[in-house]
A and B are shown apart, each in its own frame.
Chain A
Amino acid sequence: MASAESLSARRLEAPRHRRGRRSSLRSWRLRDQVMFVLAWTVGLGLCLVAATFVVFYAVEGIRYLHPSLLFTHPAPAVTQSQSGGFLDPIEGTVILAALGIAIALPVAVTAAVWAVEYGRPRALARIVESSIEIIAGTPDIVLAIFGLALFQLGVFAPFSMGEPGGAYGRSFLAAGAIMSLVALPSVYTATRNGLIATPRQLREASYALGKTHIATIRRVVLPAVRRDIATGSTLGLGRIIGDTAIVLVLLGGTLRIQTESSTPVLGLFRGVGSTLTSFIYDYSPSGDGNQPQKAYAAAFILLLMVLILNWLVGRIARIGGPPLHEERRLGA
């Protein structure tokens, strides 16, 4: 009879070498050798570029960053010590991103569901598809001045500060509406790809239980792609946060947030302000402020926000087990 000690003494250990002999690099054809070396060089080179970039902003940012900068309002002043912090741009970034995605998300998901699940007549589906490609391909400055022309129309006066004979055309609402176009393609594409990748068996299972197409979409297909939607939204948020042109043209580019009236939410949405990107531009050597130290500090914060968002994209893709279109766990 074996005792517990002798059993544990024979504990199984994984072998040190897990692979058998493989062909050596020297035996490869020259072309393959060159490609192999190139692939490594390019890969490592890109890592180097990214690392330099992050390290530069980390060093510069941390050098000039002071916690108080995050909590004080900016002030127009020539000297670094008097020009305040960037509380308003941070708030502006958050408000604008929230507004933009709040508009883009329902529109993009609805459009993707229609295009994939219905998409009839075909010609209309193709038009929808190419419209979104056009939006995705339009430079943001082009969207921005179009937005300005649009929101200066008298009809849109309630969206910004009203003026006699027209509208001011610049506000969080106007910028948010145009920003939603910047985020829309990411959300649309991610949702559409998720819908297309949803296994046919899953839909059939629902039909076979006597469900209608619309019930199947709502209860089975959309839950199955919620991770794709989340990933697309996060990417869209990243694009909004990083956009400058629309902010400069449509948000007014004032250092501090100026509400239109004292009405709680609406007053703010109709008001103007700035974001981190426009703040960086203003304080960079090419802007009016020309206080690069502040710009570096703000750029560091912005970079952090974008990195956190990217990290979130990866996290979202992993919640709740493997995605449906990957192999499912079989057997016990």
Chain B
Amino acid sequence: MSARERHADAVATGGAPLRVCQNVALSIDKLDFEAELMSLAPVKEPVSRRPAAVPSLATERLRLEDVSVFYGAKPAVKNVSLSIHRGEVLALIGPSGCGKTTLLRTLNRLTELTPSASHSGRILLDGEDIDELVDTELRARVSMVFQQPNPFPMSIFDNVAFALREQSRRRPRRGELEQPVMQALLRAGLHAEVQSELDRSALRLSGGQQQRLCIARAIAMRPEILLMDEPCSALDPRSTSVIEDLIVQLRDDLAIVIVTHNLQQARRVADRVAFMYLGDLVEVGETEEIFTAPCEKQTREYIAGVFG
């Protein structure tokens, strides 16, 4: 290698980081500025994403009275009583297999799809027993986002419009759906990224975008309650951050129940936290209380990471 080449090489290596920096600067320009900062900032203590004011807990939306869920004869959830209010995020935490997801799926009667599952006790949605409601009607009011992003194999527009179509006997025209679809995409924070390619297949979106699309799809019908089953566990930290922001924003019009393995996430997004262990609801309370001064020993140990 000649001296000249070596020199060029050295200059090049020196130059490379510069280029990287330029790329980052460009992407910051392009993407949501706030979200970018959020992910770049070193997070030591979990930063609460909630605004300081705790919303009024006046309207009770969902009320669980002594709910137990069984798979065959085996109880998966035991005698849980809880209530969920409008404008709040309730996080269900607990070790694997403790019944969090089962409880969540009972709230929109999705457990009925498992032939062996049954539940006792009462679940009231705005005072009505959910078993008395028609299943499709219930699920339109209590919508759900899953762990794995699961967009339908159709266009982005059709994914969001899916829930709105076939509500009535007459199939609505695209023009009528345009406005609610855009609204849902806006609320899910996906509008800016996809507005020029609404007719492309949803399967071509990235994982984080797919999950936000699923959220848009779930909120398009204006449900009263949104159930989220570990919505970020399949996503990278940036997408997680975007979705957490979204949860906090959506909370205003909805009641959100989120199952999460990630304690930091529960602390960041939830107003109240319910800790479950082996099917029992051990403790439920304000987020800060649960994390700083839990009443039960099990809760304290779980949060401290003694078991998990």
Contact surface of A with B, Cβ cutoff 8 Å: 1-3, 6-7, 9-10, 199, 201-202, 204-212, 215, 219-220, 223-224, 320-322, 324, 328-332
Contacts and interface: CB of A to CB of B under 8 A. Distances in A.
A207 B12 contact: no
B206 A205 contact: no
A201 B166 contact: no
B140 A209 contact: yes
B12 A2 contact: yes
B146 A330 contact: no
Given A1-B15, A205-B150, A219-B162, A10 B9 contact: yes
Interface in B150-169: 150, 152-154, 162-163, 165-166
Contacts of A6: 8, 11-12, 15
Contacts of B146: 201, 204-205, 208
Contact of B139 (A201, A208, A219): A208
19 contacts: A1-B18, A2-B14, A2-B15, A2-B19, A7-B12, A9-B12, A199-B150, A204-B150, A205-B146, A205-B217, A207-B110, A209-B139, A209-B163, A209-B221, A210-B141, A211-B163, A320-B153, A328-B207, A331-B206
A324 B153 CA distance: 8
Interface in B239-256: none
Interface in B61-111: 108, 110
B143 A209 contact: yes
Contacts, number: 118
Contacts of B16: 2, 7
B283 to A, nearest CB: 28
Contacts of A208: 108, 110, 139, 143-144, 146, 218, 227
B204 interface: yes
B214 interface: yes
Interface of B: 8-9, 11-16, 18-19, 108, 110, 113, 135-141, 143-144, 146, 148-150, 152-154, 162-163, 165-166, 201, 203-204, 206-208, 210, 214, 217-218, 221, 227, 234, 236
A195 to B, nearest CB: 14
A178 to B, nearest CB: 35
Nearest to A328: B203
A215 B217 CA distance: 16
A6 to B, nearest CB: 5
Contacts of B201: 320-321
Contacts of B150: 199, 201-202, 204-205
A208 B141 CA distance: 10
A10 B19 CA distance: 13
Nearest to A10: B12
B237 to A, nearest CB: 11
Given A210-B139, A329-B203, A205 B214 contact: yes
Contacts of B139: 207-211
B44 to A, nearest CB: 26
A330 to B, nearest CB: 4
Nearest to B145: A208
B123 to A, nearest CB: 16
B39 to A, nearest CB: 12
B238 to A, nearest CB: 8
Contacts of B203: 321-322, 324, 328-329
Contacts of B108: 208
Contacts of B204: 321, 329
B212 to A, nearest CB: 13
Contacts of B18: 1-2
A202 B8 contact: no
A201 B229 CA distance: 12
Contacts of A212: 136
Contacts of A209: 139-140, 143, 162-163, 217-218, 221
Interface centre among A207, A220, A322 (most CB of B within 10 A): A207
A202 B152 contact: yes
Given A329-B207, A331-B236, A210 B163 contact: yes
A317 to B, nearest CB: 14
A280 to B, nearest CB: 42
A9 B152 contact: no
Contacts of A1: 15, 18
